[in-house]
Structure 1
Amino acid sequence: MPTGLTQDAGWQIGVSKTLPLPVSAVWDFVASPEGIALWLGELSQGADLPREKGAGYATVDGIAGEVRGYRPGDRIRLTYGTTTLQVAVTSAGEGRSVLRFHQERMADAQEREHQRTHWRSVMERVVAVLLAD
C-alpha cells in the first residue's frame, strides 16, 4: 500500500511538532480565536469554534464542516470539507507537549501532498506565535 493510504481512513497526512511548552499553554492557544484563525481560518459566524458535537462551522474562505468531537485540553475533531481533521495536544514529558494536525479521507495522493504542504505551513505559523511569547 502506498505511503499515506490506509484501509480504514483512505489517504491521510499527519504533521506534528514537539514544543518546549506545557500542554495547557499549547491547548489554550490552539483553542483560542487567534489560534483557530491560524489553523482553521477566520470563522464566518464569530471568533469561537462551536464545541458541541454536530455543530456546524464555516470559515470566511469557504471551508465548512461540523464538529465531531471536542475534548478540552486534548483534541478537536471536525469535518473539513469532505475530509476529517483532528488537532491534538499531548504531553511529551515535563513542560513539553506535542501538537498534531491529522487529516484523513482525502481523495488521492495528489490531495495528500497538497495538504502536507498546507499543514507544514500551518504548523510553522502556529509554532512561531507560540514560541514568540
Structure 2
Amino acid sequence: MEQTSEATGETEVAAVVVSRTLPYPVRTVWEVLMTTDGSEALLGPGAQLGSKGESWRSHDGREGVVRSFHPLEQIRFTWRLRESAHPTMVDVRLVPADDQATEFRIEHSKLPPHADRAWLSDRWEAAIDRIESECV
C-alpha cells in the first residue's frame, strides 16, 4: 500500500510490522525494555528510552524523539538513521496474550519509497530476539 505524504509530497510505503508472542508477562517484558539493553535493542548502541518529549541518540547516529509513553502498554518514537533523513515513526505495543505471555508488536511507519523493508523487518526481529533473551 502506498500513500502520498502531504508534508513532503513523497510517496510512502506501507508500514513494516513485526509481531511475536513472548512467553513472559507484560511486566517482565516492560522491565527489560526500560533497561539499557532493552533500549539499545530498539534504538541502537548508547541510546536510552525516555519519557514523552525526550530526545534520544545512538552512537551510530540514529536519533529521534519519544512521542508517546504509556507504561506496560506502548512506546512510540520517531526514528531516523541520520540527522539529514526524514523521521519515520516506530510504535511498540505490549498486549497481554494471557497472564504469562505478551504479544510484542513493532510497527514502523511513515517510510519513504526507498526504505529497505526487508532490512527493517530483520532489524526489528533482531530487537525482539534481544529483548526476549533478556527476559530470562
Once superposed, what is the RMSD of the aligned Cα atoms? 2.1
> In structure 2, how many angstroms separate the alpha carbons of the residues matched to 1:114 and 1:34?
21
Partner in structure 2 of residue 79 of structure 1: 78
Partner in structure 1 of residue 106 of structure 2: 101
Matches within 5 A, 1:54-133: 54-81=53-80, 82-108=87-113, 110-130=115-135, 133=136
Please identify, of 66-75 and 111-120, the stretch whose mean Cα deviation from structure 2 is larger.
111-120
Partner in structure 2 of residue 50 of structure 1: 50
Number of residue pairs matched by the alignment = 124
The yes-or-no answer on 1:16 pairing with 2:15 is no
**Unaligned ranges ≥5, structure 1:** none
Instruction: Using the TM superposition, give the Cα deviation of residue 25 of structure 1 relative to its aligned residue in structure 2, in angstroms.
Output: 0.4
**Larger helix fraction of residues:** 1
**Cα distance change of structure 1 residues 129 and 80 upon mapping to structure 2, 3 Å threshold:** same
**Unaligned ranges ≥5, structure 2:** 6-11, 81-86
> In structure 2, how many angstroms separate the alpha carbons of the residues matched to 1:60 and 1:125?
18
Matches within 5 A, 1:23-38: 23-38=26-41
> In structure 2, how many angstroms separate the alpha carbons of the residues matched to 1:110 and 1:83?
10
The yes-or-no answer on 1:39 pairing with 2:68 is no
> In structure 1, how many angstroms separate the alpha carbons of the residues matched to 2:45 and 2:21?
25
Identity of aligned residues (%): 26
Q: Name the TM-score, length of structure 1 as normaliser.
A: 0.81
Please identify, of 73-82 and 106-115, the stretch whose mean Cα deviation from structure 2 is larger.
106-115
